[in-house]
A and B are shown apart, each in its own frame.
Chain A
């Protein structure tokens, strides 16, 4: 009790000092997400209802990725943000560096088991699932449609250029799957030297037929213009293009690689309990199930499936049929090996 009094006195002093310095009124919670139409959807579904329910104010900001900015906020004392949506890589790195408050699952409405595998972690709670799939333009392909990465490598049945994101990430996994490695053994294989050699040898087969893309919007443009016949592409953008541009792009789920974006609480956040409450609010399965109406990302609460509309389900990474045939992006592996493998990739590409 006494501690509570001191804390609130301290908070009052801080607020006074802040007022005296004419800084904007302190919000109860500051949340940073990925901006654009995605954050618009989050505002409607999570931010505004939560602020209303609790009678608090929420300030928003844009996060563009990168561990550097988060590190600067936390090491600089009181962070400007309280809750941030981060990608798997930042979650791993930031957790190791102690930038995030450890999640207390007792403070959440849900247990770790209520979430899909890999979503409930020490430092963060999964929020959305996105996926990288094999994509093609259904209007341009006659006859059989491709169904696997093995088909992606089949230049005779499906002639034309292949689109892949420049770099080693994802492509080594795809190459191994095309070479017959079962999806659940891909990362075990990649952890051996022979496995990496094998992946690069497989990439050799289509070396001259690959157009490497850089930005996430490029593969859609390449599909639309016929520059490539098949490409790796983010599932959300594929569906987004079909909805907005009326294209007839299709995605192949077997062999797709999914990753989870998570909510984290920055170390130094004053009201950790309120932050947990928000995360709990945003993990509500029925609420999560509404997000796909705006953008084709999957929900992290395992129970959200039953609330998702039939129209949306086939396009989501988390629909059981899609999830069962996919593998999760192995952040640990890539954080450790990205430099060496990307350097090797460039030597391979320049040869």
Chain B
């Protein structure tokens, strides 16, 4: 009996098999790893971070540490004691010297306009030596230190974990007893904004469906050079810069633009119609920009439907309209589902087009996200609004998945 390296029985074989399996698993993991890593670093981490920013903010607890340590003891029955006021006073003196008050001032001003002045105005005028009564000194410097509403905001803001931004993004707030309530109707903004965003997105989606369906049908049911020409016409705008297309629409739709000139020349209208810088313009331009995203999935599904189906239905006596409605249309539903989902998701987050061709009542959620993120550096609120947008998109996605099934959807 010879024992050689090529023994193919018993435990050694199993070990080699395991080794080779492990190696092939390692190779496939290694091949997928870059993609997974990329997704985690550039997709998952930023989203988690964004969610974090909307509920977590340490600017007050870091900028006013003494206050953060003691203000929790205040029971909101009357004004807080000297201890709390002394902590605020010392924080202001030290913060002013070290230029550390900007964070707390910004954060508090986000909750109540004017709080910046309370912080900086007071900090500038404080005595170098500790006064006899910090309470009197502070209230004398700014009477708002004697206002419970200002102090409640401070008391809440020292806690890094906050639901303020999420509530605010939904037009809600906590009252002085910490109960969550809807804001007064003339103070609400974001619920209407969410509704406006949804209305515009749904309108654009329906317009795209109404215009894209016939085009896709034509594409799928004509042959040769006509199909080719149509396809180029659909794809050409797709390759053109969004800004260029938006600017082109301004030229077409403005008061002395091509459309109005034609309407008045042909005698259809006698004075220019307002077609841009309003909701009409927003929907028209967004629909044109997003139309390819409707046509392409529809076309993909329709070109897979055999034309014999329709012929069979008609030969059995169904008029064209009936055959179309009962035989053809149901088969195109996966394309309809994919197209509407794509267009809706893209339009719900639209920013630059409404900004350039919409009126002031046509701005969508992303306009406000950009405003808070870039202009006022209120990242908490920007993140909270971003979260709202994400929840809308996710809900829509799950709803579609439930109704149509993801596996049956054809994206192109």
Contact = CB atoms under 8 A, between A and B. Distances in A.
Contacts of B113: 336-337, 339-340
Contacts of B99: 96-98
Name the 3 nearest CB pairs between A and B, nearest first.
A98-B99, A349-B360, A97-B102
Interface in A189-224: 211-212, 214-215, 218, 221-222
A161 B377 contact: no
Given A212-B359, A226-B256, A338-B375, A93 B102 contact: yes
A335 interface: yes
B114 A225 contact: no
B24 interface: no
A345 B371 CA distance: 13
Given A96-B105, A227-B254, A350 B196 contact: yes
Contact of A225 (B186, B254, B277, B376): B254
B255 A335 contact: no
Nearest to B251: A225
Given A96-B99, A346-B363, 12 more contacts: A96-B120, A212-B359, A214-B355, A214-B356, A222-B254, A227-B255, A336-B117, A339-B376, A342-B371, A346-B360, A347-B188, A350-B361
B132 interface: no
A166 interface: yes
Nearest to B374: A66
B101 interface: yes
20 contacts: A68-B377, A93-B106, A96-B102, A96-B105, A97-B99, A98-B98, A211-B277, A212-B360, A221-B250, A336-B109, A337-B114, A340-B113, A343-B189, A346-B193, A346-B360, A346-B363, A349-B359, A349-B361, A350-B196, A351-B361
B192 interface: yes
B384 to A, nearest CB: 13
A138 B22 CA distance: 80
Q: Which of A67, A68, A339 has the most CB of B within 10 A?
A: A339
A67 B363 contact: no
A166 B277 CA distance: 11
Interface of B: 98-103, 105-106, 109-110, 113-114, 116-117, 120, 186, 188-189, 192-193, 196, 250, 254-257, 277, 355-356, 359-361, 363, 368, 371-372, 374-378
A225 B356 contact: no
A351 B188 CA distance: 12
B269 to A, nearest CB: 17
Contacts of A218: 356
Interface of A: 66-68, 93, 96-98, 161, 166, 211-212, 214-215, 218, 221-222, 225-227, 335-340, 342-343, 345-347, 349-351
B391 to A, nearest CB: 21
A67 B377 contact: yes
Contacts of B102: 93, 96-98
B195 to A, nearest CB: 10
B361 A227 contact: no
Contacts of A351: 361
Nearest to A347: B189
Contact of B277 (A68, A97, A98, A212): A212
B110 A339 contact: yes
B255 A226 contact: yes
Contacts of B106: 93
B125 to A, nearest CB: 16
A55 to B, nearest CB: 35
Nearest to B189: A343
A161 B277 CA distance: 11
B212 to A, nearest CB: 29
B219 to A, nearest CB: 36
A161 B376 contact: no
Nearest to A64: B374
A62 to B, nearest CB: 16
A339 B378 contact: yes
A68 B375 CA distance: 10
Nearest to A163: B277
Q: Which of B103, B361, B368 has the most CB of A within 10 A?
A: B361
A346 B109 contact: no
Nearest to B103: A97
Nearest to A339: B376
Contacts of B109: 336
Contacts of A211: 277
Nearest to A67: B377
Contacts of B103: 97
Contacts of A346: 189, 193, 360, 363, 368
A342 B189 CA distance: 11
Contacts of A340: 113
Contacts of B372: 339
A340 to B, nearest CB: 4
Contacts of B368: 346
Contacts of B371: 342
Given A337-B113, A339-B378, A350-B361, A225 B355 contact: no
B275 to A, nearest CB: 11
Q: Which of A67, A161, A211, A340 has the most CB of B within 10 A?
A: A211
Contacts of B117: 336
